[in-house]
Chains A and B, each alone.
Chain A
Amino acid sequence: ILVPSTNSDKISVKTYLHILVKKQTEHAVPQLYTALQRRACSSLSVPRITTHYTIHSRDKDPRWEGIEMERFADEADVVIVGGGPAGLSAAIRLKQLANEHEKELRVCLVEKASQIGAHTLSGACLEPSALNELFPDWKERGAPLNTEVTEDVFSILTEKHRIPVPMLPGLPMQNHGNYIVRLGNFVRWLGEQAEELGVELYPGYAASEVLFHEDGSVKGIATNDVGIAKDGSPKDVFERGMELHAKVTLFGEGCHGHLAKQLYKQFNLRENCEPQTYAIGLKELWMIDEKKWRPGRVEHSVGWPLNRNTYGGSFLYHLNEGEPLVALGFVIGLDYSNPYLSPFREFQRWKHHPFVAPTLEGGNRIAYGARALNEGGFQSIPKLTFPGGLLIGCSPGFMNVPKIKGTHTAMKSGMLAAEAIFPQVVAEELDSETAGLHIPEYAENLKNSWVWKELRAVRNIRPSFHNYFGLYGGMVYTGIFYWILRGKEPWTLKHCGTDADQLKPAKDCTPIDYPKPDGKISFDLLSSVALSGTNHEGDQPAHLTLRDDGVPVARNLGIYDGPEQRFCPAGVYEYVPLETGDGMRLQINAQNCVHCKTCDIKDPSQNINWVVPEGGGGPAYNGM
C-alpha cells in the first residue's frame, strides 16, 4: 500500500511500512486487514495527520535512536498541576498552614500558560464566600474585586422582543452580595499572594505526563518535552521535560483536563458517577460608549437565538474599574443535537438582538476567548482521591450550573484538599500503604462542606431541561422544586449520556442560516481568534491528536458533515479538498487553538485527543 504524499505531511514509504509492521505486531491480523480495507476504500488515501508521540510512540521510531531521553528529576512535598483558582487556593492554604505550624513545606505549581491568568476565562460573578475564608483581609491585600453587583436583570428573549423575568431572592441566578470580576486578574492576584507565601510557581511549563511508582500510585508529573519538529522528529534544540516528584499531586487542570482523563481510566474513578456533561462559553470584552455604561449591572438571558431544546443563554456584565468596560458572552450546552449548530455564530447573532445591540453600538471589541465548562454538577462528580493524588476544582467539576458559578466551589475544594493533606505531608513518619499518599479525608471533608450541600440542592435543575418543553419545562421545575422546595426532593434526575453521543446525523437535521457578521457588532471567526492572542510554536506536532487519521473524513464528515468545523471557537478544524483527486481531508490549524477542550468533548467519534502543547503556548488572555 503506497500512501501518496501530501504537500504538508510527507512520510517516506519506508517509514509507513515501518509503522505498518509495528501495527501488525500490536494488533491481531483481522484488525489489520479491516484497517487496510478501510484505508483502501475511504477517499483512496489517508494523509498522515497526527505525528504526536502519544499516538506514534518514539520507542521504535528510527529518528529517535540515540537521543538522550533521561529526565532531570526533583523532589517536592506537594506538586499542583494547574494555576487556576483551585490550584492556587490549595497552594496558598498549604503555605498558610505551614507557616501557622512552623513547618517547612515545598509546594511546586506548574501551569501551561506563559503567565498566571493568561489561560483563565470566565464571566464572572464571583461569590466571595471561599475568598472570605482564604483571605479575610482580601480588600486590604488589594484583591481586584472592584465591582459590586447593583442591578440583576433576567430575560427570556424572542427574536425581536424580551420577556422580563423577576429576579426574586432565592432564585439561583440572584447575585446580591457578589462581585463582577475579571477572573484573569483575580487569578493573577492569587498568584502574587501565593508567591509571597513561598509557593514555587512555574508558569510556561505544562504537565504532560503522570508518573507512577512501581506500586501503581502517582509519583508526580513530568513537564513537556521541547524541540520536537512538526513531523515528530527531534530538532537540535530538543530537550526532555523535567520530572517533579511529590508525596501527593493535586490535579487542578480545569474543565476536562487531559491528565485527569488518563487518571479516570487508570484508577477507574468514574465507575459510580454519571458521565460529565459540558457547555461551551464564548466571551468578549467591549469598551463601550460611556453613555451606555451602567457599572454593576448584571444581565442574563435565555431563549433566542437558541430553540427551546438547546440549553444555553447569555451574560452581559458592566464592570466598574474606571473605564466603560463590559464583559459579555454566550454559553451553549454541548448536548445539542444539530451538527449544523455553530456556538460562535449563535453568539455573534445574539449580539444583534434589540435588547443587546444598543449597549454595543459605538463601542469597540478588545478581547475574545472561549472555554468549555462543566454542567454535570452533583451527579457527575467522580471519585476524587487515588493513591498519590487527588482532583480539585473544575477538573472533577463543582460548578453550580443554574448559578453559573464554579469559582467559589473550586477555591473551596482546593482549600479542603490542602487542609486534608497537610497533616500527612508534614508528618515525621509517612503512614501510607502506597508510596504516593492516599488521602480519602479530602473527599470526606468535601462531603461535609457547604460545597456538597450547595451542589446537591441544585442537582436536578439542569437535567430538568430534558423534557418536551425543554427550556420552559426546566424553568417551571426550577420555580417549584428549587425556589420553593430548595432542592429537597428525594429523587435525582439523570443526564442523557455523554455530549458526544447526542449529535444526530446531518441528513436528519436542517442547516442553520446564520447572518453574515457586520464587522461592527458581530465579527468573523478569524479576526476574533486574532484577538485572543493565541499562538503556539509552529514547528511542533499538532497537539490535537487523532487516534485514527481516517475517521474524520469517513465518519465525522460522512455522517455529521464535519461538526468540528463549527463547534471549534478558534477555527482549528477545516475540511479542505484534497490536492489531487476527489475527496476532502481534515486540516488541523493547531496554532489557533485556545485550549477550550470542546473538540475533545463533542467529537461524535471521540477520536480527537487533546494533549498539552509546548508550555507557554495558547491564548494570551488579559483579565478575561
Chain B
Amino acid sequence: FQVGLLVSVKRFFLFLFEIRVKPDKSGVVTDGVKHSMNPFCEIAVEEAVKLKEKKLIKEVVAVSCGPQQAQETIRTALAMGADRGIHVQVAGKDYENLGPLQVSKIMAALAKKEEAQLVILGKQAIDDDCNQTGQMTAALLDWPQGTFASEVSFEGDKLKVVREIDGGLETITINTPAVVTADLRLNTPRYATLPNIMKAKKKKIAIMKPEDLGVDITSRVEVLRVDEPPQREAGVKVETVQDLVGKLKDSGLV
C-alpha cells in the first residue's frame, strides 16, 4: 500500500524557557531565544518515518510555514527521515498573524497539489495551544480525521486510529485519504544524529509563497494585548474556623 504523506512541522521556543512579555504588550520576546520543533510535530514526523520504514508509505514530505529559520525545522525533519521538504515563506507581520485557519488552508492546498493520501500533524502547538489546524485541514479537504492519535495502523486500505479521549481510548476506522493528529503517547521521537543532519543538507527543500498556492493568508483575528499571568498572592493561614468565616465575610465572599 504505497501512499505519499505530508507532515506539518512548526517551530517555537524550547518548552522550558522563561517567556518574557514585550514591554509594549504586543507579544512575547523572541529575539535570540532558542527555538526548536514543536514536540507534537516531532512525534508526527517520527510516526511518518516509522510508516515509511514499514513500507506502508512511499514518501514523506515535511512542510513548514514561516520565515527563513523554518528551514532549520524542516532540516531536522529531514534528518529524522523525511524525504524532502516544502518551505512556505511567510515573514514579518504576516508570520505574527499566521493562525490555524491560514495554515490549514495552505496544508489543504498542498495536500491536493502533492496528491498526498495522508496528512499528519501534531495535535497542537505549544505557543498558542489552539488544537485547530489538523481539524480545519480535514474539514477544508472534506477528509476524515483521526485526532489525538495514540496508535495508528493500516487495515487493508482503511486507517485504524486509537484516539485518546476524556473517557479513555476510542478506536475508529477511517477511509483514506485522511488527516491524523499526533498525541503524546504515539511514539518516542528518534534523535536527529549528526550523520543524518549532514545527509539532510543534500535533501531538497522547495520554497514557495502562499500566493503560489492560491491561499489568502489575511488574518480574521487581531491580538489586542498579551499580559503576564497575575502574580500569585501568598496564602493566609488562620487559626480557627471563626477566623476563616471572618476573613470570608471581610472579603465579601460570604
- Cβ-defined partner of A226 (8 Å) among B31, B188, B191: B191
Whether A434 sits at the interface, judged by CB under 8 Å, is: no
Whether B2 sits at the interface, judged by CB under 8 Å, is: no
List which B17-56 residues lie within 8 A (CB) of chain A.
17-18, 20, 23, 31-34, 36
- Cβ-defined partner of B32 (8 Å) among A188, A241, A242: A188
Q: B32–A620 contact, CB under 8 A? A: no
- Cβ-defined partner of B188 (8 Å) among A117, A236, A535: A236
Cβ–Cβ < 8 Å partners of A239 in chain B:
190-191, 193
Whether A530 sits at the interface, judged by CB under 8 Å, is: yes
- Cβ-defined partner of A242 (8 Å) among B16, B33, B193: B193
Q: A623–B32 contact, CB under 8 A? A: yes
> Taking CB as reference atom, which chain A residue is nearest B72?
A115
Known contacts A114-B34, A185-B32; A242/B194 CB under 8 A: yes
Cβ–Cβ < 8 Å partners of A623 in chain B:
32
List which B156-205 residues lie within 8 A (CB) of chain A.
188-191, 193-195, 197-198
Cβ–Cβ < 8 Å partners of A531 in chain B:
18
- Chain A 237-268, CB within 8 Å of chain B: the 1/0 string? 10101100000000000000000000000000
Q: A241–B20 contact, CB under 8 A? A: no
Q: B194–A202 contact, CB under 8 A? A: yes
Q: B193–A533 contact, CB under 8 A? A: no
The interface size bin for chain B is 20 to 34
Known contacts A237-B188, A366-B20, A533-B16; A223/B32 CB under 8 A: no
Cβ–Cβ < 8 Å partners of B14 in chain A:
114, 533, 535, 620
> Taking CB as reference atom, which chain A residue is nearest B33?
A622
Cβ–Cβ < 8 Å partners of B190 in chain A:
237, 239
Known contacts A530-B18, A531-B18; A118/B191 CB under 8 A: no
Q: Give the shortest distance, in Å, between A314 (CB) and chain B (any CB).
A: 24
- Cβ-defined partner of A241 (8 Å) among B16, B31, B34, B194: B194
Whether A491 sits at the interface, judged by CB under 8 Å, is: no
- Cβ-defined partner of B18 (8 Å) among A114, A227, A242, A533: A533
> Taking CB as reference atom, which chain B residue is nearest A236?
B188
Q: Give the shortest distance, in Å, between A324 (CB) and chain B (any CB).
A: 11
Whether A154 sits at the interface, judged by CB under 8 Å, is: no
Q: A535–B195 contact, CB under 8 A? A: no
Q: A72–B17 contact, CB under 8 A? A: no
> Taking CB as reference atom, which chain A residue is nearest B190?
A237
List which B185-228 residues lie within 8 A (CB) of chain A.
188-191, 193-195, 197-198
Q: A622–B34 contact, CB under 8 A? A: yes
List which A40-81 residues lie within 8 A (CB) of chain B.
72, 74
Q: How far apart are the CA atoms of A110 and B18 in the complex, in Å? A: 26
Q: Give the shortest distance, in Å, between B72 (CB) and chain A (any CB).
A: 10
List which A390-404 residues lie within 8 A (CB) of chain B.
none
- Identify whether the interface residues of B are mostly helix, strand, loop, or mixed: loop
Q: B16–A535 contact, CB under 8 A? A: yes
Known contacts A366-B20, A533-B17, A620-B17; A72/B36 CB under 8 A: no
Q: B198–A115 contact, CB under 8 A? A: no
Q: Give the shortest distance, in Å, between A80 (CB) and chain B (any CB).
A: 15
List which A414-444 residues lie within 8 A (CB) of chain B.
none
Most buried by A among B23, B31, B191: B191
Cβ–Cβ < 8 Å partners of B23 in chain A:
323
- Chain A 99-117, CB within 8 Å of chain B: the 1/0 string? 0000000000010001101
Cβ–Cβ < 8 Å partners of A530 in chain B:
18
Cβ–Cβ < 8 Å partners of B197 in chain A:
202
Cβ–Cβ < 8 Å partners of B194 in chain A:
110, 202, 205, 223, 241-242
Cβ–Cβ < 8 Å partners of B17 in chain A:
533, 620
Cβ–Cβ < 8 Å partners of A185 in chain B:
32
Q: How far apart are the CA atoms of A188 and B32 in the complex, in Å? A: 9
Cβ–Cβ < 8 Å partners of A72 in chain B:
195
Most buried by A among B23, B188, B193: B193
Cβ–Cβ < 8 Å partners of B34 in chain A:
114-115, 118, 533, 620, 622
- Chain A 520-541, CB within 8 Å of chain B: the 1/0 string? 0000000000110101000000
Q: How far apart are the CA atoms of A202 and B72 in the complex, in Å? A: 12
Most buried by B among A110, A114, A185, A533: A533
Q: How far apart are the CA atoms of A242 and B32 in the complex, in Å? A: 29
Q: A227–B191 contact, CB under 8 A? A: yes
Most buried by A among B18, B188, B194: B194
Q: Give the shortest distance, in Å, between A535 (CB) and chain B (any CB).
A: 5
Q: How far apart are the CA atoms of A205 and B23 in the complex, in Å? A: 35
Q: A237–B198 contact, CB under 8 A? A: no
> Taking CB as reference atom, which chain B residue is nearest A200?
B198
Q: How far apart are the CA atoms of A188 and B31 in the complex, in Å? A: 12
Q: Give the shortest distance, in Å, between A594 (CB) and chain B (any CB).
A: 14
Q: How far apart are the CA atoms of A110 and B191 in the complex, in Å? A: 17
Q: How far apart are the CA atoms of A74 and B194 in the complex, in Å? A: 10
List which B223-249 residues lie within 8 A (CB) of chain A.
none
- Chain B 7-18, CB within 8 Å of chain A: the 1/0 string? 000000010111
Cβ–Cβ < 8 Å partners of A117 in chain B:
32
Cβ–Cβ < 8 Å partners of B198 in chain A:
74
Q: How far apart are the CA atoms of A530 and B19 in the complex, in Å? A: 12
Cβ–Cβ < 8 Å partners of B16 in chain A:
533, 535
Beyond A117-B32, A241-B193, A531-B18, list 12 extra A-B contacts (CB 8 Å): A202-B194, A236-B188, A237-B188, A237-B189, A237-B190, A237-B191, A239-B193, A242-B195, A323-B23, A533-B14, A620-B17, A622-B32
Q: Which residues on A are within 8 Å of B, measured CB to CB? A: 72, 74, 110, 114-115, 117-118, 184-185, 188, 202, 205, 223, 226-227, 236-237, 239, 241-242, 323, 366, 530-531, 533, 535, 620, 622-623
Q: Which 6 pairs, one residue from A and one from B, show the smallest C-beta to C-beta distance?
A: A72-B195, A226-B191, A242-B194, A622-B32, A620-B34, A205-B194
26 CB contacts below 8 A, A to B, read: A72-B195, A74-B195, A74-B198, A110-B194, A114-B36, A118-B34, A184-B32, A188-B32, A202-B194, A226-B191, A237-B188, A237-B190, A239-B190, A239-B193, A241-B193, A242-B194, A366-B18, A530-B18, A531-B18, A533-B14, A533-B17, A533-B18, A620-B14, A620-B17, A622-B31, A622-B34
